Structure 1
Amino acid sequence: MSSFQNLKKSRDARRGKPRPNTSSTSGTSGPGVTNAGDGTYGMDDELASKAREVLSTALGIPLGQDEPGLEFLDDPEVEITNVSSYDSHGRKQNVSPGIDNLRSKDQVTGKGKGKVKQPQVSNEHVRKRGKDEVSHELYKSELEGSGIEVHTLPGKGRGLITKRLIKAGTIILKTPPSISALQNQHFQRVCHGCYLTMKERNIASCKNEKERYEKKMRGELKIKLNRCSGCKVLHYCSRECQLSDWPTHKHECIALQRFRKMYYKTYPTKKQDDDDLSWTQASPEPVRALARIIWKRRVEREKNGGKDGIWWKQIASLESHVSKSTQQEVMRLAQQAQHLQHYLSASIPLKGSDVDVGEDQLLPVNMEDFGFEDVQEVMNFCSSFHVNSFTLSSPSLTPIGVSNSPLMALSNHSCDPNAIVVFPNGAKYMELIAIKDIQSDEEILTSYIDLSCPYDIRQRDLKERYRFQCDCKLCEKSKNQGVDWVDPRWCVRHEGCKGGDGKGKMPVKGSKGVVSVKCDKCQEDFKVNAEEVLSVVQKGVDVLDSDEHRQLDYKTAQKALSTLIPNLQKHLPNHSYPLLSLLRLSSVSHTPPQSPKDLQIASKHIKQAYEACYEVYHQNHATPTLILCEYAKLLSLQDSEQTKMVDLSRNIAMKNTIIRNLLEAIEMLTKAVKQSEITFGKGFVVGKELEGILEGCKEEMERLKRS
């Protein structure tokens, strides 16, 4: 069996029972890394024993080549299929530390790492401890003039403290990521320089929709994705984006060319197709991102006479969990470190006799050549990356890769955060934005997990991924909830409540038969069939898990949810877990709508999600803001086809209906634009797109009034 087959086999075996993702629908600061399978690029025992049995061939371009090539392809414009903070499987995306990691365990952040608890820190504690001078010096250039300091906080490690009042909607920090890497499935639709689709890039390049329309009419918007002529894997929207990525990609380019040749030599019956990138699944984005960091470090050391600069010292200061890991987790890290050595080796071109000798071998590199003293240091590096990296998300919060920023990773976690981390205009910059007013001497907090999940699930995810227990105000309230308080994330509906929308506590896991539950509104006891409720809830959780692990296609999701959602709504309010997430998944699976029925279902479910989401999210949080944007966009599609097909001058009733729908769409679009400016700031991609849709609706309204 070839090394390539071994590599694939080891990953497929782990995919049988993938680890849960700690980030999902929205982000982290205990940033998050999202990847397929168990998040590692590890080798099984068989592969480890045959580490030298790898195929390789001569490379297409020399290592010293400094100018990349582009192949100009006639790629059609790729439309954004949704504006949710859901990942490709509809689950709440694993977003950076600020946007609740929607349940992906591969999202990470670097706060309070390894501590049993993350206690809330009072302003008095902050004043007593003062800032961490060493860490603050590391980030001096990035923090200068921001009014933000790095402090060492009791029981939490380092954290970010503001020394000024910060109003909601303020961009607290804006910084380029240290490194980013796309998920493999996005290679052909997202630029690896700015990390935008072609449609997003067109929107970002114009001040407003009017300018975009005028440029389009003049033929000035000709942005296309063109692939690297060397590896034929990564794509770029411009020469500028390719050149900005080339210092790192030139090494990666060699490795990818080598692996492609290795693949086709291993499978000689496979038809060689440059558009078929299925072979790249053997190299998931975490390993590619780790390699990109190492290549960048090597370049920096060469410039500094073999010494590391500030950039690497920031990365090296991030906390590793190796000492707190189980034996199984340590083995996975060791396997990943081995694969990383082989991946780096593929980037080194063979010369002269080495081509013949090493044709069927890919020897692991000596990590000392890249600045590492021993294997332990490499494993600590891999661990700290997973604990401190963010899920790279699109402007609409769809997870598309992994990104790393030591500075952003300093923000600690809270299930009641006052800030989020987002990529509102692509991944050239990541932004830390306040979603609440933050007082002077207060800690800046983001969320590493999905905030729509109930207490037990949040604590499980935090403990498994970040090694701490959260005791924020929400968690303390959830843990010690009194008789009258019912967590809106985990409850049953009281049908017939005199108060109108009463709810009761979810039956305890394992409950049998009919149980009595007290309504939080009318205070009456009502009966719940515990087994029936818990059974249908588990079915909903199973669907989300399948989606999270990329095992659910939209057609299957549509079929399953058509019966599951109504069954859940018999028992749960729309804001309870997992119903809220399933409503969004259903809407995403029907978007863009392919028929009037699709539009009806998508609009119905996103409306229900919008009306319910504020029960579990702060109004300025990214998730409800994007739900509002999705809802407003779908409203703008209502009756668009009828407007074209029906003579409205003769059908007054239809005309009045369309006018009412347009008025509703204009109202929601206006609200969405204003809210998005608070959550993401002015001028971000989704906001510009909404402004264009809003202007179009207003013009249509004027046309109807004149007709």
Structure 2
Amino acid sequence: MANFAELKAARDRRKVQSSFTDNLNSLEDGAKADGRAPNADVKPTIYHSLPADLEVRWTETRGRGIWSREKRRRGEIIFTEVQQSAALSTGLLATHCSACFVEASGVPLKRCPTCRIIHYCDTECQSRDWTLHKRECPALQKWATSVPSPSSETSEDKRQGKVIPSDAIRALGRMMWRKQKKGSSGDWAKQVDTMQSRKHRVRLSSNEKSSQLHTHMVHALVRYLGLESLDELSSYGIDSIAGLVDLVSRFTTNAFTVASPTLTPIGVSISPIIALFNHSCAPNAVPVFPRAPHNAKANEPMASVITLRDIPANEEVVISYIDTTLTKRERQKALKETYYFTCNCSLCEKPRDGAYVDSRESLYCPKNCGGLCWLPTEDDPLARCAKCGTVVKESDAILDVIRIGFVALKKVNKVQISDPQKAIQLTTNLIRILASARVCPFTQPLLALSRLHTTLLISNYRSPFDPNVAEISSPEIQEQRQTNQEDISALSEKQNQLDETIQSAKRTTMGLNRLLPFGHPIRALALTELGKLLIVDEPDPKHLKEKSDISSVAPSGSGSSALPQLAGTAKYPPSGPQRLKLAYETLVSARRELIVGFGGGKNEGGQVGVEVRKILVEIEKELGVWKEGIRGAIADLPKTTGK
């Protein structure tokens, strides 16, 4: 029989769960009261870590925002902050350090001996994270013990999502524990309490997705924190269930993705100061996690806000909450569903008429005049070239192709992990269909399919020489390798796969370059990816089978970073030394953009920028070897006497 304490605890748990449900169903009046101008009376003096040359201002149309008091140059780091309330993605907890978010490389991580879930690089990271993990550790254990033991039919991988709380719940827990530690009168608590809340927009109907999400998160958070009575909420500065719902709303509205230096999502974080930056689909700044080479582990994960263009004094600094390569309709839908507002930035306000055509929604002119046409829509099926006025025929057929493209995109996203070959086949077919309909490579959904197609091809390609290392080799070494291979046809097939991957990466880069400004991190990384593909060893080098001009091997002396335009019948990508020369020029251009998107100076374009610099040094050595060989060959030629 359960003792009195156990019965009381069970009763309190039932009481608090019942209270949650009752309060969630009675929030409508309070939500309406929350519709006032959010936090209009809050003084910005609580943001002591905000640099003096940045200022928090209030406007009637956009609420709070951050403005630059001084003129800014493109690529300038205007704000940096170590993320204190961040949680790794569940699938990375065993492979990344939960303190600095660095991936294990060679040396195994050290696991917390108590919860056996969280891992660290070393004792330094463990000690630094102990302030929060000492609260997190027992919470993780209690959560895990509430899940039945694994059976022979249930693998540990399938149970992982139940044994470990979601990223959002773990980040919320860390946010609340830090808020509790700093005290309700501290700056951190005040900053959290003044973040924008959208609880007045959450519909209380059980059929509403947003309401279900908030209800689920509230119950999960209570379970994770181990709350057994409403009185325990007061230690977190919360006096009611409505206050807890409000806190969850603040989190869901302001949380952002922690990314690796290659923009791969690896976790979730909350930063009240970064949350102050307002949104624009044409942003002048971008938040990134560059992992700069000079940063100590104690300063990671470090988020930086970097300017994408020159910003004059007294201009608002704005970032984008969403993918800006999406169409206007998709952007507005994403913002409405997650952030509950309609964007009226300069890009969204441009009308669908006149000489302007948004590249995200465009077709090439039917007469090839060089102009663009708007994609036809159900509301506006008539489309004509903005340059020559030629009307686009067969609008219905184009509409069908676009619909099929978006449906296929969703399907590919679902099967890309379970069946990558099917995903490659789908993207290949759809790219051809959309291109044949004259859809531009920078138009959705063709751009999204091209980006996904490139990712799938890179994952699918394996070098026949070394599956893990991309080497830079001279033509002589490549020729020797080829003659040592028994199956020449297999090498030829590998060569075709590599070339197709490079061509796909080039199409993706061209599309992104059209839509994103110079130095945008996504654009810079796409260019870096293209350059790295160009230095992968060729399994079946075409230049060894053809005559080549010896004088074309040396790198250009102009130092131009522009990609060469291969005209006429020239095949892209080139082979041999010309390919390496192209790789060099591509990576030089990529590094220039990385230094903008991830910060210059000590940042050196972040971790990726440093890696590219090292690759460029190696390419220069290889090109130097070829150049010296050419000079030697020229020196051996018989000298002629002019008359």
Contact 2:412 2:427 in 1 (8 A): no
The one-character-per-residue Cα deviations of 1:339-381 (angstroms, maximum 9, x if unpaired) are 11111119xxxxxxxxxxxxxxx88993234331110000000
CA change 1:535–1:271 in 2 (3 A) is closer
2:515 is the counterpart of 1:616? yes
Equivalent of residue 407 in structure 1, options 262, 270, 273: 273
User: Match for residue 463 of structure 1?
Assistant: 336
The one-character-per-residue Cα deviations of 1:639-667 (angstroms, maximum 9, x if unpaired) are 2x568xx997x997599641111100011
3-state SS of 2:43 partner:
helix
Q: CA deviation at 1:194?
A: 1.4
Equivalent of residue 396 in structure 1, options 236, 253, 262: 262
The structure with the largest helix share of the pair is 2
- Give the greater-gyration-radius structure (CA): 2
User: Match for residue 697 of structure 1?
Assistant: 619
Query: TM-score with structure 2 length normalisation?
Result: 0.75
| Distance in 1, Cα, partners of 2:76 & 2:523 | 18
CA change 1:323–1:133 in 2 (3 A) is closer
Contact 2:87 2:269 in 1 (8 A): yes
Contact 1:115 1:468 in 2 (8 A): no
CA change 1:364–1:659 in 2 (3 A) is farther
Contact 2:144 2:163 in 1 (8 A): no
CA change 1:364–1:630 in 2 (3 A) is farther
2:406 is the counterpart of 1:541? yes
2:432 is the counterpart of 1:566? yes
Q: How does 1:258-269 map to 2 (within 5 A)?
A: 258-265=142-149, 267-269=150-152
Q: Which amino acid aligns with 1:532?
A: A
The one-character-per-residue Cα deviations of 1:145-198 (angstroms, maximum 9, x if unpaired) are 4x0010111221110011100111100111112411112122233221211223
Q: CA deviation at 1:586?
A: 0.9
Query: TM-score with structure 1 length normalisation?
Result: 0.69
User: Match for residue 462 of structure 2?
Assistant: 594
Q: CA deviation at 1:634?
A: 1.2
| Distance in 2, Cα, partners of 1:190 & 1:425 | 14
User: Match for residue 532 of structure 1?
Assistant: 397
Equivalent of residue 578 in structure 1, options 442, 445, 456: 445
| Distance in 2, Cα, partners of 1:666 & 1:558 | 29
Contact 1:492 1:505 in 2 (8 A): yes
| Distance in 2, Cα, partners of 1:114 & 1:473 | 26
Contact 2:175 2:270 in 1 (8 A): no
User: Match for residue 288 of structure 1?
Assistant: 170
2:18 is the counterpart of 1:136? no
User: Match for residue 120 of structure 2?
Assistant: 236
| Number of aligned residues | 531
User: Match for residue 493 of structure 1?
Assistant: 364
| Distance in 2, Cα, partners of 1:614 & 1:272 | 45
CA change 1:460–1:254 in 2 (3 A) is same
CA change 1:663–1:281 in 2 (3 A) is farther
CA change 1:331–1:589 in 2 (3 A) is closer
Contact 2:98 2:118 in 1 (8 A): yes
| Distance in 1, Cα, partners of 2:448 & 2:287 | 21
3-state SS of 1:631 partner:
helix
User: Match for residue 598 of structure 2?
Assistant: 680
How many percent identity over aligned positions? 28
| Distance in 2, Cα, partners of 1:461 & 1:281 | 31
Q: CA deviation at 1:406?
A: 0.5
CA change 1:114–1:523 in 2 (3 A) is farther
The one-character-per-residue Cα deviations of 1:476-534 (angstroms, maximum 9, x if unpaired) are 11xx23232211101223344133xx3211111378xxx6531123332231x333322
Query: RMSD between aligned alpha carbons?
Result: 3.4
Query: Higher relative contact order at CA 8 Å, sep ≥6: structure 1 or structure 2?
Result: 1
3-state SS of 2:458 partner:
coil
Contact 2:520 2:596 in 1 (8 A): no
CA change 1:190–1:232 in 2 (3 A) is same
User: Match for residue 472 of structure 2?
Assistant: none
Q: CA deviation at 1:638?
A: 4.8
Q: How does 1:142-291 map to 2 (within 5 A)?
A: 142-145=49-52, 147-198=53-104, 223-265=107-149, 267-269=150-152, 278-280=160-162, 283-291=165-173
The one-character-per-residue Cα deviations of 1:374-405 (angstroms, maximum 9, x if unpaired) are 10000000001110111111111111111111
2:202 is the counterpart of 1:325? yes
| Distance in 1, Cα, partners of 2:176 & 2:530 | 43
Structure 2 residue ranges without an equivalent (≥5): 1-13, 21-33, 293-299, 464-493, 554-574, 630-643
Q: CA deviation at 1:48?
A: 6.7
CA change 1:312–1:546 in 2 (3 A) is farther
| Distance in 2, Cα, partners of 1:114 & 1:544 | 38
Q: Which amino acid aligns with 1:288?
A: R
2:594 is the counterpart of 1:665? no
3-state SS of 1:318 partner:
coil
